[in-house]
Amino acid sequence: MKRKEREVGSMANQALHSRGLWADAWHRFKKNKVAVAGMVFVLILVVISIATLVIDWVTAGEIYNNYVTKTNLPMKLAGPSLEHIFGCDEYGRDILFRLLWGTRYSLFIGIVSILIALVGGGFLGAIAGFYGGKVDNVIMRVMDVFLSIPSMVMAIAIVTALGNSIFNLLLSIAVPQIPRLARIVRASVMSVRDREFVEAARAVGADDGLIIFKYIIPNALAPIIVQASLTVGSAILSIAGLSFLGIGVEPPAPEWGSILNAARTYMRDAWHISVIPGLMIMITVLSLNLAGDGLRDALDPKMKN
């Protein structure tokens, strides 16, 4: 009994000492079951996206053409059945297939566009917050100009000006988010910048780069992560909005938002077409938020015990 306790104790000790910041964060993250569930769901979506891409590549798009986009009018608006678990849409296409094949658009565009926004906004915000004064003023006033344009209008402007392509779509969703993220990064960098440990780091000869990356960003990360994970949700909704206007992902591609928008007309006759993609979007956004929330807690070492 005693030996066992000692073993457990020494294991815990080893575990405490041999990990870095991220490994430590992962250890804490695991304890948060809800966050893990969110993360698992997001990972499942990632796997689905990759799997469908591989299937398309292996079968040369045969399944995509035959099951995802091919119209089958006899099954129009058919409700859920054993053959079509989630039923069929207004052209008789299986909704399950369309949802699976549509995962890649929402997830890829949502995550990548926010990463772009995070890099851009994070860089600008960190510079503005860290150096302050004139640099801060110039950057933030430019950001204010961008903020004054409604994000949907800016997205439409970017896509129509640059043309309709996946990259431009990413850009159109990322750019309106840059000033929002820049503001949050700036505020949280500023709150850390004047803390005493930053001064203490300077007093042992650390340079600006080290201070920004090891002292300020890790301490300023929590609100940024939460905001970014929330923004992924709104990015997915933006794609849906753009698809609705006909400048997002073009039909017949099975993007979730466009399925939902098409289903709007049939809401009274066929509830499943709007409810199921709607639920998918909702669960995805929720999972991202839960995972982001868990990540924030995990990155704070004070939550350890």
Partner 1 sequence: MAFLDIKDLQVDYVTEDGVVHALNGVDLEVMEGETLGLVGETGAGKTTLAKCIMGLLPQRTGRIRSGEIYYDGKDLLKMSLKEMQKIRGAHIAMIFQDPMTSLNPVLTVGDQIAEAVQNHENCKRDEAMKRAEEMLELVGIPAERAGDYPHQFSGGMKQRVVIAIALACNPKFLIADEPTTALDVTIQAQVLEMMQDLKRKFHTSMLLITHDLGVVAQNCDRVAVIYAGEVVEYGGIFDVFKGMRHPYTKGLFSSIPQIQNEVTRLAPIPGMMPDPMDLPEGCKFCTRCQHATQRCREEHPQLVQVGEGHWARCFLCEQEGKVKE
CA distance 158 to 60: 33
The smaller minimum CB distance to partner 1, of residues 19 and 264, is found at 19
Contacts with partner 1, residue ranges (CB under 8 A): 13, 16-19, 21, 132-133, 195-197, 199-207, 210, 214-215, 218-219, 299-302, 304-305
Q: Which is nearer to partner 1, 16 or 166 (CB)?
A: 16
Minimum gap (Å) between residue 298 Cβ and partner 1:
12
In the complex, least distance from residue 299 CB atom to partner 1, rounded to whole angstroms: 7
Residue 88, strand partner residues: 94
Q: How far is CA 14 from the centre of its chain?
A: 34
Assess contact for 208 and 145: CB atoms under 8 A.
no
| Minimum CB distance to partner 1 smaller for 147 or for 201 | 201
Q: Smallest distance, Å, CB 214 to partner 1? A: 7
d(CA 102, CA 288): 17
Provide, rounded to whole angstroms, the least separation between the CB of residue 136 and partner 1.
Answer: 11
For partner 1, the closer of residues 65 and 137 by Cβ is 137
- 50 vs 210 by CB, closer to partner 1: 210
**Closest distance to partner 1 from the beta carbon of 293 (Å):** 18
Question: Which residues share a beta bridge with 94?
Answer: 88
**DSSP annotation of 245:** T
Cα within 13 Å of Cα(188), Cβ side: 21
Nearer CB in complex with partner 1: 80/132: 132
Dihedral angle sign, alpha carbons of residues 178, 184, 185, 187: positive
CB of 202 to partner 1, least distance (A): 6
DSSP, res 20: -
> How far, in Å, are 91, 109, 194, 298 from residue 100 at the CA level?
17, 15, 48, 31
Q: Which is nearer to partner 1, 74 or 133 (CB)?
A: 133
DSSP track, 140-160: HHHHHHHHTS-HHHHHHHHHH
Angstrom CA distances, 115 to 181, 197, 266, stand at 11, 29, 36
